[in-house]
Amino acid sequence: MKAFVFLLVVIVISNCLAVDRNNFKTCEQSGFCKRLRNLTPNKHFHILNVDSLKVEGNVATAEVSSVNPEGDTKTLQHLYVFKLSALLDGTFRVELDEESPIYPRYRTQLALVAEPKADELKLIENKDNHVILQNSQGHKVTITADPLKIEFLDKAGNVAVILNEKSLLQVEPLKKKDVKVDGDENAVAVEEPEGTWGENFKSHHDSKPRGNEAVSLDVAFPDADHVYGIPEHTDKFNLRTTTSSDPYRLYNLDVFEFELDSTMALYGSIPVMYAHGPDRTVGVFWHNSAETWIDVENHSDGTVVSSLVNLVTGSSKPKRVDARFMSESGIVDVFVLMGDKPGDAFRQYTTLTGVAPLPPKFSLAYHQCRWNYVDEEDIRTLDENFDQYDIPVDVYWLDIEYTDRKKYFTWDLEKFRHPAEMVANLTAKSRKLVVIIDPHIKREAGYFLHEDATDNGYYVKNKDGNDYEGWCWPGSSSYLDFFNPAVSKYYADRYLFENFPGTSKDVHIWNDMNEPSVFNGPEVTMPKDCQHYKPPQDGLEGISAYWEHRHVHNEYGLWYIRATQDGLLARTDGRYRPFVLTRSTFAGTQRYAAVWTGDNMAEWGYLAVSVPMCLSLSVAGVSFCGSDVGGFFKYPEAELMTRWYQAGAYQAFFRAHSHIETKRREPWLYDAQTMGLIREAIRRRYALLDFWYTLFYEHTLDGMPVMRPLFQHFPQEKETYTIDNQYLLGDKLLVRPVVEQGVTSVQVYLPGRESGTIWYDVDSYQAIPANGFFTQNVNMAKIPVYQRGGTIVPRKERVRRASPLMAEDPYTLIVALDSQNTAQGSLYIDDGETYEYKQNKYIYAKVSYESSSLTYKIVNDQASYPTRSWVERVVIAGIKTAPKSAKMVQGDKQTALQMTLHKGNDVLVIRKPAASMGQSWQINFVY
């Protein structure tokens, strides 16, 4: 009943459609953000004791003390341990913790894929207040002892990153409440800032049993023009200066009807930032799972006087962007990624936090979702309609209403009487089902999950140590504590087929609301003083025996999706690749799930922001990203819907979704012309599925984003630094979706002028030499996509109802020539769903063109995947002179080939080379 009341509230609010900012803290309302932001620099000097410096293996350690610099004599305040590690692949790690904290401080647990691998670290010099160290690549670290400053130098000896340049380093020492001075009962407790032992926000009280424990560090990026990263926000891809706004906030929150162009927190928090300029790209990864605020300050825009020297000499001010990370708890733990190309920095980050596993191929195809497809009949009709209207689709989704009154791992057996048969019907047509499973557990007597969790003590505890109760979709709810390995194991086991009847290997999982969302909690989430499991250890009791939610908040969702992935793997004994979708993100999320950008709106601005949002996530490791096609709230009219499908077809995760209160909007409910355009957009996705799949395979090898900012491949070209309505797929396709209403042309930037790059419009194969911006006419059918000259893209032109039906279909290779008349590409083929590729059951081929030949060479020698696919057509765009004849050579077989040259656009089409993709081949040209 109460759940129903809540739904009414949602409906009422959704009529005004704007975020309720009052529900979320500003920096001023967040105790530590306000405290740290108001801290005057230089008040608390940190000094490194050079005599204590030790270098052992790849690690340098030293004692750091904070001092009170007021007056003549500096009085020691507190002792810290400083640690600098050199890691493989041009990465350093800096850690600072109290030397003897009264309680252990929390260290983030799940973000790193493994213990980072060590590089060598050489001590070059230690004298006169300076220490110089060097890694195997020739990056130097210069530490100034007093006041503490750490400079990281690139291989050429230029300072690339500076830590604590502004002396904003802070690790607030832990204190015990009510400690009387010198044990004197009558002495007054040391005066402490207001809010140290408790803070209020609206009607919520946070008890803060450990007092203040915030950490902060400033980072300077000399020579940088821009900084990027730290998703998830709705801002531009290149981050803005925050001196006159709130800092960017990272605190996983269910922000109802989030607003655009905002530094406010959203569902995800990935604390990695990149700085880029023509000289280099570097990054910092702030390894902390507590609430974090990040200030960005720009020294290039003339608002900050850079240095006295420049004032005196009158020379132009050097560029620099500064950032400052402030977290509520934890330790200072920061990775410095030395780059120096953009791709290097992106790779260094995925080396630390892992790559996305190869997804099951169907998950890169088109997904149809709605809150809710109400019953079996609804799903059956939906499925019939996709076939009737000849629109390809791989997956249908069920939102929360499929359950027995929001009890997960159950079905509403009135509406879904035969879930197993429903799934079998879909599977028979090579389609899949995804069902939602959320982390809130309905507190209902008789519900097995609630009873098990209560009996075994599996729930997160409130500040008094009792099961925490919040309010979410099911009404009164509790939340499993995944930090306890027994709970994660228990939860993973719920996914076993015997525990979740109706599911099969073709049912995959959507984890929503995992920030976690708590409707009646502070800022719609769990109170910070809730208690999480900590492994029992002798001597740890009271406050030391558990972690507070405050310490772990941003990684709660990560523990959750990890348990889900474990469960999906276990149900098939590790045979089939699972697909999981998550809303909450943290560093490392890519290892477990794809991500969508949450509850957006059917408005043009939300379509536009899907590009920078996914770009930010992609460079932060999460390439498998998409936004709700059509917009979740409100109803998209035909033009917006068409443009959204066209944009979605070129984003990694391609799913239409809508709110329960909105009008139905499946493609055939629009006029015939609109439906035709939507069908065509989806068909384009299917034609390129093997290209997408190959990109995701290559991501597992090199950690590169699949969706890339232009500057990754054109790092010198300044115009690209602020372009975030275009992007690259791999290094091959440039996409500029139309995200503006009513336009008949758009401006497209084609990078690579200096290097003579040629781009080819994929619709016409028309060559367009790179020359900055040009005007592209766009009718409603046009999706501006360009293939870079010098690349080869595989396509499948026979689009079918679902992607598995296309597995053995033939390929068309699109060869786009560069100015040297060469081109390269690659193709990955496997069974699309198992792990047998790990036993060499796959094909990975490099395709290369030069004027005398086109070569398809399988590079994994013992390839044994038995594909029946063959090459049906080769299209060579940008060919100036046509060869007289062409011959296919595969094994002992030689075949003369038919060719047609299209003079108008210099395209040569070779028909039916008919070579098998299971074996290397070559086409030789004679001129």
Catalog residues that contact ligand NAG under the rule CB under 6 A. Answer: 225-227, 239-241, 296, 298, 300-301, 321, 376, 380, 418, 421-422, 425
Residue reference for tokens 């003369």? 896
What the block records as the tokens of 656 is 């239409």
Shortest CB 431 distance to ligand NAG, Å:
12
Closest distance of CB 424 from ligand NAG, Å: 7
Of 426 and 568, CB closest to ligand NAG: 426
The smaller minimum CB distance to ligand NAG, of residues 295 and 394, is found at 295
State which residue, 375 or 698, has the beta carbon closest to ligand NAG: 375
Q: Is 404 a catalytic residue?
A: no
Interatomic CA distance for residues 210 and 200, integer angstroms:
16
CB of 630 to ligand NAG, least distance (A): 26
Q: Out of 154, 512, 628, 818, pick the active-site residue.
A: 512
Q: How far apart are CA 568 and CA 175, in angstroms?
A: 44
Contact residues for 535 (Cβ-Cβ < 8 A; gap 6+): none
Q: Cα(126)–Cα(120) distance, rounded to whole angstroms?
A: 17
Q: In whole angstroms, what is the distance from residue 36 CA to residue 40 CA?
A: 9
Tokens of 148: 């503490």
Per DSSP, what are the bridge partners of residue 284?
273, 336
Q: Which of 533, 447, 444, 442 is nearest to 488 (CA)?
A: 533
Measure the CA–CA gap between 665 and 646, rounded to whole angstroms: 16
| DSSP for 575-602, written as a single string | -B---EEESSB-TTGGGT-EEE--S-BS
Residue 392 Cβ, how far from ligand NAG at the closest point, in Å?
20
771, two tokens = 């020359």
CA dihedral 457, 458, 463, 464 (to 10 degrees): -10
Please, which residues have CB within 8 angstroms of residue 648's CB and are 6 or more apart in sequence?
A: 626, 627, 629, 654, 655, 656, 681
Report the C-alpha dihedral over residues 649, 650, 652, 657, rounded to 10 degrees: -40
- Sheet-wide strand order for 470-472: 440-442, 475-479, 470-472
Closer by beta carbon to ligand NAG, 273 or else 441: 273
Provide the minimum distance between the beta carbon of 430 and ligand NAG in the complex, in angstroms, as a whole number: 15
Q: Which residue has the tokens 């706004």?
A: 245
Strand partners, 275: 227, 282
Query: Rounded to the nearest whole angstrom, what is the least distance from the CB of residue 697 to ligand NAG in the complex?
Result: 35
DSSP one-letter code for 241? P
Please choose, from the candidates 58, 218, 102, the residue with its C-alpha nearest in 3D space to the C-alpha of residue 151. Answer: 218
Least separation in angstroms between residue 799's CB and ligand NAG is: 24
Cβ neighbour number for residue 297 with a 10 Å cutoff: 18
Q: Which is nearer to ligand NAG, 373 or 650 (CB)?
A: 373
> Considering the complex, what minimum distance in angstroms separates the CB of residue 801 from ligand NAG?
15
Q: Please give the full DSSP string across 3-24, using - where no structure is assigned.
A: HHHHHHHHHHHHTT-S--GGGS
For residue 467, what are the β-bridge partners?
Answer: 461
Strand pairing partners for 84? 60, 94
Instruction: Rank residues 723 and 735 by Cβ distance to ligand NAG and give the closer one.
Output: 723
Find where tokens 């609630």 sit: 450
Which residue in the list 206, 254, 599, 818 is annotated as catalytic? 599
Distance in angstroms (rounded) separating the CA atoms of residues 698 and 162: 33
- Calculate ∠ Cα 342-344-345, nearest 5°: 70
Least separation in angstroms between residue 227's CB and ligand NAG is: 6
Residue 1: partners with Cβ closer than 8 Å, 6 or more residues away? none
Q: Are 314 and 264 in contact (CB under 8 A)?
A: no
Q: How far is the CB of 425 from ligand NAG (least distance, A)?
A: 4
Residue 381 or 924: the one with the smaller Cβ distance to ligand NAG is 381
Burial class (CB in 10 A: 0-12, 13-18, 19+), 868: exposed
Distance CA 202, CA 594 (A): 34
- CA 611-817-765 angle, to 5 degrees, is 65
Quick one: residue 235, left, alpha or beta (phi over 0 = left, psi -120 to 50 = alpha)?
Answer: beta
Closer Cβ to ligand NAG, 396 or 856, answer by number: 396
β-sheet bridge partners, residue 640: none
Active-site annotation holds for 599:
yes
Least distance from ligand NAG to the Cβ atom of residue 884, Å: 54
Q: Which is nearer to ligand NAG, 55 or 420 (CB)?
A: 420
Smallest gap, in angstroms, from Cβ of residue 349 to ligand NAG?
Answer: 19
182 alpha-carbon distance from chain centroid: 51
Residue 132, number of CB atoms within 10 A of its CB: 16
Residue 669 Cβ, how far from ligand NAG at the closest point, in Å?
A: 22
Question: Across 168-319, where does the E strand assignment appear?
Answer: 170-171, 199-201, 204-206, 215-222, 226-229, 248-250, 272-276, 281-286, 292-298
- Given the complex with ligand NAG, which of 425 and 924 has the nearer CB atom? 425
Of 227 and 265, nearer to ligand NAG (C-beta) is 227
CA dihedral 435, 438, 444, 448 (to 10 degrees): 70
Nearer to ligand NAG, 405 or 429 (CB): 429
Q: Which is nearer to ligand NAG, 257 or 719 (CB)?
A: 719
Q: Report, as residue numbers or ranges, the catalytic residues.
A: 512, 599
